[in-house]
Each structure stands twice: as C-alpha cells, then as structure tokens.
Amino acid sequence: MTTALYDVPGPHTRRRHRTYGIAATAVLLALIGWILYLLFDTGQFTAAKWTPFLYKGIQELLLKGLGNTLKAFAYAAVLSLALGAVLASGRLSEHRAVRWVSTVLVEFFRAMPVLVMIFFVYVALKAEPLVALVSGLTLYNGSVLAEVFRTGVNAVERGQGEAAQALGMRKTQVMTHVLVPQAVRAMLPTIISQLVVALKDTSLGFLITYEEFLHAGKLIASNLDYDLPFIPVVMIISPIYIGLCMLLSALATWVSRRQRRNPKVEAAEVGPPEPGTLLPGAGQHPAPPRE
C-alpha cells in the first residue's frame, strides 16, 4: 500500500475525508439503488422469471453446462502446459533451427486473437466445437506459458547452471534436475494466473455453440414459457463464473506469497501472480514491486 501519497490525516482532514467518504458512499448507494429500481421496474424479480430455477431439468442443464466448461478447461490446461513445455525447451535449445521455429510459432500464436484460432479450427478444419475450443486455447495459452517457462529458466541464478555443469551434468540433466524445478516453483503464481485466463476464455466456446455454461444460460434465457428470464440467468451465472476465476486467482496470489518465503526458490525471482502478457519485441516488463 502506498502511504507516501498523503500525510497521516489530522483531526480536520479526517473530518473532511469522512465527508468525502459519506458523499462517495451515498453516490454509490444511489447508483446501486437506481439499478435495483430498474430491475424491479422492468419486472426482473417476478415469480415467473425465477421459478424455472427450481425445476430439476433446468438445474441439471446449468450443471451440465458448468461441467462442460470445466471439462474444456481441464483439457486446455493440461494440453497448454504440455505445449508450453515443448515450445519453451525449443526456444531454449542449442540448435538454431529449433530455436527459430519455436520462436516464430510462439510469437505468431501470441499475436493472434484466440477467437481467430478457435474459428479457424471450427470453420476451416470442421472440427467439433470442443476440439476447436480446446485447440485454440491450447495454442494461445501454450505459447504464453512457453514464454513464462523460458523467463523462469532464464531468471534462475547463473551460478546454478554453471555449478551443475561443473559437476559434469549433461545439458538435459542441468535442465531437468537443476533449472526447471527452480523455474517452475518461481513461476508458479504466473502459471496459475495464465490458467485463469484459460478458464475465462472457455466462455468463447459459447460463440461456436459449444454447450458450455453460457450456452445453457442462453437456452434458459430465450425460453418464452419462463417469460424470457435473461437478467435472472445473468444474475445466477455471473457469480458462479466470476467466483471460480476469483478462487483460482486467489490461489495464485497465495502461492506467490508462499513461494517468496520458500528457501527452494532463493536462486530465482518469484513471478508476479499475473498472466504472462509481454509486449512483443519490447523485452521484459519491469518487475512489479514486492508488496
């Protein structure tokens, strides 16, 4: 927390701040009240719009959608971690051709919108929606994770690799026994945060008619028998979706705080609990300060 921006308030300032605080709170409450008024005014809380959620079939439909979302996420997470590992080892390779090919792949897939890849697989290769969604997410998140892994390996103190080589280890052994374990521990917060991105992007499956969470919501929302309960659907879906992502983000922050105290990652800087977004061609971000 930056406290250097203002003095510790005295009695007079405290009173002033309290006035501001009350005014700001009043404005925010008024805004919330207005939204609630609109919701009531347009009849969003009528029984007709909410009773469908008591039906077993509707609940099962929502749960099935959520299950499909999590399934796509699980496939995408595992596959992008694998692809990330392959591409990262390619970029760290000693052979120029391998390095060059992996660099081109990583830079290309990072520069493309995920949706373009998903649509390409879906429309041009005529794949199943799930396959299209998972392959699009894998290509994008895999390339970003490759960069995260590479940054992690490069961030391990040089002495570690040199010491391993001095002990007579081969380059693969140096990687797998010395550099990668430290790099992965250090980059774990960033890796988890990138998985949050993958989880959020599974909702793109909605656009290619993959039967995921939003799709289930849309089905219910466009049902005339239930008086088109669009707003209730959003009010039920968003907390679940946002809550899932928040849980995973919170895990990233927790891991990041924990790894900073971990003696096993002393030789590498712990990555920020934020997804790995690097500006193409601009090198590395300045490391965010430790809070």
**In the block, which residue shows the tokens 């199943």?**
128
The Cα–Cα gap between 129 and 285 comes to 36
Q: Could you give the CA distance from residue 189 to residue 102 in angstroms, rounded to a whole number?
A: 24
User: Which residue has 């959020």 as its token pair?
Assistant: 200
- Cβ closer to another protein: 201 or 211? 201
Name residue, tokens 């120029």: 96
Residues 101-130 that bind another protein (CB under 8 A): 111-116, 119-120, 123-124
Asked if 73 is part of the footprint of another protein (rule: CB under 8 A), the reply reads no
With respect to another protein, which residue has the nearer C-beta, 4 or 54?
Answer: 4
Nearer to another protein, 50 or 119 (CB): 119
* Cα dihedral 175/181/187/189 (nearest 10): 160
Q: Which is nearer to another protein, 178 or 199 (CB)?
A: 199
Q: Which residues contact 183 (CB under 8 A, 6 or more apart)?
A: 149, 152, 153, 155, 156, 268
Residue 241 has which token pair? 């979706």
Site map for another protein, 224-243, x if CB under 8 A?
Answer: ------xx--x--xx--xx-
- H helices of 174-262, where? 180-201, 213-221, 230-260
Q: Cβ closer to another protein: 80 or 89?
A: 80
Q: Which amino acid is at 207?
A: L
- What residues between 193 and 222 interact with another protein by CB under 8 A? 196, 199-204, 206-207, 214, 217-218, 221
Convert residues 33-72 into a mask of x (bound to another protein by CB under 8 A) and - (unbound).
-----x---x-x----------------------------
The CB-of-54 to another protein minimum distance in angstroms stands at: 22
Instruction: Please state the closest distance from residue 247 (CB atom) to another protein, in A.
Output: 9
**DSSP single-letter state for residue 5:** T
Report if residue 277 touches another protein, rule: CB under 8 A.
yes
User: Cα–Cα distance between 226 and 221 in angstroms, integer?
Assistant: 8
Q: How far is the CB of 104 from another protein (least distance, A)?
A: 12
Q: How many residues in the shown chain lie near another protein by CB under 8 A?
A: 62
Q: Does 288 bind another protein (CB under 8 A)?
A: yes
In 3D space, the residue among 49, 67, 39 whose CA is nearest the CA of residue 221 turns out to be 49
∠ Cα 102 106 108 (to 5°): 115
Q: Give the nearer residue to another protein in terms of CB position, either 174 or 273.
A: 273
Q: Which is nearer to another protein, 147 or 178 (CB)?
A: 147
Helical spans, DSSP H, in the chain: 11-41, 47-50, 56-91, 96-111, 114-119, 129-155, 158-166, 171-173, 180-201, 213-221, 230-260
Among 10, 11, 168, 281, binds another protein (CB under 8 A): 281
How far apart are CB 173 and another protein at their closest, in Å?
A: 35
Residues in contact with another protein by the rule CB under 8 A? 2, 4-7, 9, 13, 17, 20-21, 24-25, 28, 38, 42, 44, 111-116, 119-120, 123-124, 196, 199-204, 206-207, 214, 217-218, 221, 230-231, 234, 237-238, 241-242, 245-246, 249, 274, 277-283, 285-286, 288-289, 291
